[in-house]
Chains A and B, each alone.
Chain A
């Protein structure tokens, strides 16, 4: 499929080139190129790749500015074809190409026509843009000649990944310095649009893990230990302390850590817990005093108070034989 598509690429490209010279009819040129198509293998593939990337990019950036540049064949086709319906000559050329190839002809033909249609779309979009030439692309790229001093500096910086005193890497400074040093800075010049925007892949479904294994936990711990850089300043230190629980959270709320959801009546009216005790006698008297004291205690939670009373209940249960002797 690559071959056929590439051949079709080279065909219109050849046609356009010849048209610029202003010599032959497109059909003749196409047929000539089909005959000579076996020669240009590697070049075709490059063009094919360029075209594929370009079509993707065009799909993404529809509002490209006037400086948009695409791959080679599309801009050249622009001269020959305008308008939405496919040029009948091109259709004929496509069918000729398909017939000349040994594989399934109908499939190749349909693919070629689909590509042609895509070309039409892209050329419509590119009407605003200027002509795209691989020459432009190459012209922007110059061979950088660096002084040996710069070479040395670059190599040394590449080798040693130094850390600042603050702990930050030197890299950001280096890159900005490089862009300033180089004669052709990175931000100036026509956009080549060779690279497409990275499309966000849909997140793959999470693997179902019943429980994190020990190795996973260990790995997670290792990662956390490595990524936890020492604090660069006092603020980060305080943040770390707050996370660990050493430093309180500000503004201070007096009930931090205290999750007492009980109402006041649960704290005060504790007689319902006294059901396990005898109704008369010194023990009851004693427990009523205990409850009176607990109801006035603001420091214990309801749970703790209930535990207190239950402890006494258990204690007196154990001493029951002793008590009955008395």
Chain B
């Protein structure tokens, strides 16, 4: 199972436009779900300001309620992918939705793999 998870053979047909640099560029996302997650993140970034402001109108007790209702409708009319709640912190390498440590953005299996091969700086097996 670890081998299957670590096998990067799953490649979606998403190609990022290659730039002129000579480094290895990741041309594919691991799978379509990861791609959709990426799209959601981009949209959330674009609409972040608007959502903040409309929510500021909605979530206070000073302004009249009619205004707040109108604001409710407005925010509901925004595209669904623009809300940050739909973002899932997937593993960056395997796109695993669960068991992802936030600091490294890696799933537990990948993390263990790299840590055992001494490729994680400052990470050591616990022993006490």
Residues of A within 8 A of B (CB): 221, 224-225, 228, 230, 240, 244, 282-283, 285-286, 289-290, 308, 311-312, 315, 319, 322-323, 325-326
Please tell me if the beta carbons of B62 and A285 are within 8 angstroms of each other in the complex. Answer: yes
Counting CB contacts under 8 A, is B67 at the interface?
yes
When each residue 73-96 of chain B gets 1 if its CB lies under 8 Å from chain A and 0 otherwise, what string results?
000000000000000000000000
Please tell me if the beta carbons of A326 and B53 are within 8 angstroms of each other in the complex. Answer: no
When each residue 53-78 of chain B gets 1 if its CB lies under 8 Å from chain A and 0 otherwise, what string results?
10011001011101100100000000
Please tell me if the beta carbons of B63 and A282 are within 8 angstroms of each other in the complex. Answer: yes
**A230, A283, A286: which contacts B22 (Cβ < 8 A)?**
A230
Q: Please report whether the interface of chain A is mostly helix, strand, loop or mixed according to DSSP.
A: helix
Please tell me if the beta carbons of A286 and B66 are within 8 angstroms of each other in the complex. Answer: no
Complex Cα spacing A175 to B18, Å = 40
The A-contacting residues of B in range 1-53, CB under 8 angstroms, are 20-22, 49, 53
Please tell me if the beta carbons of B64 and A326 are within 8 angstroms of each other in the complex. Answer: yes
Q: Taking A285-B62, A290-B56, A325-B66 as given, write out 18 further A-B residue pairs in contact, using a Cβ cutoff of 8 Å, ordered by the A residue number.
A: A225-B20, A230-B22, A244-B21, A282-B63, A283-B63, A286-B57, A286-B60, A286-B62, A286-B63, A308-B49, A308-B53, A311-B49, A312-B53, A315-B53, A319-B67, A319-B70, A322-B67, A322-B70
Number of A-B contacts (CB under 8 A): 36
Please tell me if the beta carbons of B64 and A282 are within 8 angstroms of each other in the complex. Answer: yes
Known: A282-B64, A319-B67, A322-B70. A311 touches B53 (CB 8 A): yes
Complex Cα spacing A282 to B67, Å = 11
Chain A residues with CB under 8 A of B66: 322, 325-326
- Leading 7 A-B pairs by shortest Cβ distance: A282-B62, A286-B62, A285-B62, A326-B64, A230-B22, A282-B63, A286-B63
Complex Cα spacing A319 to B49, Å = 19
**A221, A230, A290: which contacts B20 (Cβ < 8 A)?**
A221
| Shortest Cβ distance from residue B18 to the other chain A in the assembled complex, whole angstroms | 12
Chain B residues with CB under 8 A of A325: 66
Complex Cα spacing A285 to B62, Å = 8
| Shortest Cβ distance from residue A306 to the other chain B in the assembled complex, whole angstroms | 13
Chain B residues with CB under 8 A of A244: 21
Chain B residues with CB under 8 A of A282: 62-64
| Shortest Cβ distance from residue A276 to the other chain B in the assembled complex, whole angstroms | 16
Chain B residues with CB under 8 A of A289: 60, 62
| Shortest Cβ distance from residue A318 to the other chain B in the assembled complex, whole angstroms | 10
Complex Cα spacing A312 to B56, Å = 10
| Shortest Cβ distance from residue A166 to the other chain B in the assembled complex, whole angstroms | 16
- 13 residue pairs of the A-B complex, CB under 8 angstroms, read A230-B22, A240-B21, A282-B62, A282-B64, A285-B62, A286-B62, A289-B62, A308-B49, A311-B49, A311-B53, A315-B57, A319-B67, A319-B70
Chain B residues with CB under 8 A of A322: 66-67, 70
Complex Cα spacing A290 to B57, Å = 10
Complex Cα spacing A72 to B53, Å = 92
| Shortest Cβ distance from residue B60 to the other chain A in the assembled complex, whole angstroms | 7
Complex Cα spacing A134 to B53, Å = 92
Chain A residues with CB under 8 A of B56: 290
| Shortest Cβ distance from residue B61 to the other chain A in the assembled complex, whole angstroms | 10
Chain A CB within 10 A, most for which of B21, B67, B70: B67
| Shortest Cβ distance from residue B13 to the other chain A in the assembled complex, whole angstroms | 27
Chain B residues with CB under 8 A of A319: 67, 70
Complex Cα spacing A282 to B62, Å = 6
Complex Cα spacing A292 to B57, Å = 15
Complex Cα spacing A283 to B9, Å = 58
* CB-CB nearest in chain B for A221: B20
Chain A residues with CB under 8 A of B53: 308, 311-312, 315
Complex Cα spacing A323 to B56, Å = 17
